[in-house]
């Protein structure tokens, strides 16, 4: 097909490249996982099988691009992958980075599903998982640290809310509406107190993987730690 008179159409293609010498964050997020998690009967508020599956997919992605990768952080249906600022992966083309990362992740998710979920929960053609993907460029390490802290704080806030909400419903027999009203306007310490006094749950005793999310270093080691405390160690040399 070389040199046909139609080849000029290629000139219409534009390629967004991310700025040089800046950190690249690619974040993928499950499409409509509110519904997806209901269809496949995920445990509420946290399904350890689903979290382990997300982690397995992310780990494989980190290992595939380990020379480019600083770390990855995940919670719920999302994962952020942080690449070195000098990475030349796909010539730093944003469309290549977002599309290859999200398609790699999605095919892993489908392929590994049966390793984590029983046969009764097999994926069906009408309800296959989809993920979106975005690529964001951050100019310095301070902002990258704030980015990770933002996701980490989000994990904490969501998990404390969801743990309290589902404890009130599943353990204390409240309706979802009653639980919502009970938690309306409460601060973290109030939710801790409600969990303890009404549901006999000490939030501190909840599994670290739910409270902290999952951090993967460039070697592919998965940790459930206070990301904010771990940041300096992870970013040493980057």
Residues that bind Mg ion (CB under 5 A): 29-30, 33, 76-78
Instruction: Please name the residues in contact with 3: beta carbons below 8 A apart, sequence gap of 6 or more.
Output: none
Whose structure tokens read 């990770």? Answer: 148
81 counts as binding ligand DGT under rule CB under 6 A: no
How far apart CA 97 and CA 80 sit, in angstroms, is 13
- Count of residues in contact with ligand DGT, rule CB under 6 A: 17
Q: Is 213 in the site for ligand DGT (CB under 6 A)?
A: no
CA angle 32, 35, 37 (to 5 degrees): 100
- Give the CA angle between residues 193, 194, 198 to the nearest 5°: 120
Nearer to Mg ion, 68 or 78 (CB): 78
- Interacting partner of 44 out of Mg ion, ligand DGT, none (Cβ under 5 to 8 A depending on kind): ligand DGT
Q: At its nearest, how many Å lie between Mg ion and the CB of residue 132? A: 8
**Of residues 23 and 42, the one with the C-beta less far from ligand DGT:** 42
- The smaller minimum CB distance to ligand DGT, of residues 36 and 90, is found at 36
Residue with Cβ nearer Mg ion (90 or 166): 90
Residue 154 within binding range of ligand DGT, rule CB under 6 A:
no
Q: How many residues make up the chain in this entry?
A: 238
Cβ closest to Mg ion, residue 123 vs residue 174 = 123
SS3 assignment, position 98: helix
Q: What are the CA-CA distances from residue 22 to residues 71, 85, 92, 118, 221 (Å)? A: 15, 5, 10, 43, 25
Give the shortest CB-32-to-ligand DGT separation in angstroms: 4
Distance CA 164, CA 183 (A): 8
- From 44-52, 60-68, 105-113, 115-123, span contacting ligand DGT (CB under 6 A): 44-52
Query: Which residues, in sequence order, are bridge partners of residue 43?
Result: none
Using the contact rule CB under 6 A, the part of the chain among 30-38, 85-93, 114-122, 188-196 near ligand DGT is 30-38
Q: Is 32 a binder of ligand DGT (CB under 6 A)?
A: yes
Local structure of 11: helix, strand or coil: helix
Binding site for ligand DGT (CB under 6 A): 29-34, 37, 42-47, 50-51, 76-77
């Amino acid at each position: 097909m070389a040199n046909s008179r139609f080849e000029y159409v290629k000139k219409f293609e534009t390629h967004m490249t991310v700025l040089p010498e800046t950190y690249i964050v690619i974040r993928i997020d499950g499409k409509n996982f509110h519904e997806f998690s209901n269809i496949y009967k995920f445990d509420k508020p946290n399904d350890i099988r689903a979290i382990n599956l997300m982690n397995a997919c992310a780990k494989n992605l980190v290992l595939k691009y380990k020379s480019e990768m600083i770390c990855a952080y995940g919670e719920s249906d999302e994962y952020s992958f942080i690449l070195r600022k000098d990475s030349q992966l796909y010539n730093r083309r944003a469309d290549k980075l977002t599309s290859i990362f999200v398609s790699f992740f999605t095919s892993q998710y489908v392929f590994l599903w049966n390793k984590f979920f029983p046969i009764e929960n097999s994926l069906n053609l009408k309800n296959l998982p989809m993920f979106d993907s975005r690529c964001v460029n951050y100019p310095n390490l301070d902002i990258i640290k704030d980015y990770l802290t933002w996701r980490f704080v989000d994990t904490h806030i969501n998990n404390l809310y969801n743990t309290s909400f589902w404890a009130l419903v599943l353990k204390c027999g409240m309706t979802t509406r009653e639980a919502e009203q009970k938690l309306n306007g409460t601060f973290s310490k109030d939710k801790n107190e409600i969990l303890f006094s009404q549901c006999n749950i000490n939030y501190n005793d909840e599994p670290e993987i739910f409270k902290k999310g999952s951090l993967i270093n460039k070697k592919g080691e998965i940790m459930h730690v206070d990301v904010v405390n771990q940041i300096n160690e992870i970013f040493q040399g980057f």
